Amino acid sequence: MMSDPEERQPAEPAPDAPALGRSGAGPRDSQLDAGPPTAPASHRRAPRSVQGEPAPAEDRLELPAGALVALRKSGGLKFSSREVVVYRDGRVTYQAIPPEEPEAARAPRKLTRAQLADLRGLIGQIDFAGLTATVGRQNPDLFAYEIAASIRRRSHYLEVFDGSIPEPVAPLIRRLLQLMPQA
């Protein structure tokens, strides 16, 4: 013998179970009251930029104290993010998200005086004031490059994308990419 669905009692949830919503009070209510909206929990960061918009301020590449220049390369078919920072004294640090290189590849190293002078020359060739903070638009399969640089004690920020890298910026990006471990 089958019981009428209206007569069945719903199973009580466990006391520590999270509430996903509440059904209406009537026997035939079909609407779900999900309660007030909450922020979605996610292990991923917010998108870096959308269709050429600047990176959100909370995700923008910051120049650490004592640093000369920093580069973040992110994106690609299988998203990755890699950063290199060169300090005024020539120290170079590197990190990747997720970490993909062996520990030895991430160990800090130091540029020679000649290499540091060459890097300063490349930075000096860029007219940061003449460029907008974001140049071009990102194709989802290509990379975005964020650059933060210190010139005469002023910090400058620039974000460019594969396919629209201004000519004066390209040599600096190439040089900083050479400082990253080869993937």
In a domain, 107, yes or no: yes
Count of domains for the chain: 1
Q: How far apart are the first and last CA of the chain?
A: 67
Higher pLDDT, 58 or 48: 58
In a domain, 74, yes or no: yes
Find the helix or strand (DSSP H, E) in which 94 lies. Answer: strand 91-97
pLDDT of residue 137: 72
pLDDT of residue 52: 42
pLDDT in tens, 76-85: 888 888 999 9
In a domain, 8, yes or no: no
pLDDT of residue 56: 52
Domain CATH code at residue 143: 3.30.1560.10
Q: What is the mean pLDDT of the chain?
A: 76
Poorest-pLDDT segment among 20-29, 112-121, 139-148: 20-29
Please check whether residue 175 is in contact with residue 133, taking contact to mean a CB–CB distance below 8 angstroms.
Answer: no
Name the percent of the chain lying above pLDDT 70.
62
In a domain, 41, yes or no: no
pLDDT of residue 33: 55
| Banded model confidence at residue 119, pLDDT cuts 50, 70, 90 | very high
pLDDT of residue 173: 96
Structural domain including 115 reads: 57-178
In a domain, 62, yes or no: yes
Residues whose CB is less than 8 angstroms from the CB of residue 106 and which lie 6 or more positions away in sequence, other chains included = 94, 95, 96, 99, 181
Higher pLDDT, 183 or 70: 70
In a domain, 51, yes or no: no
In a domain, 136, yes or no: yes
In a domain, 130, yes or no: yes
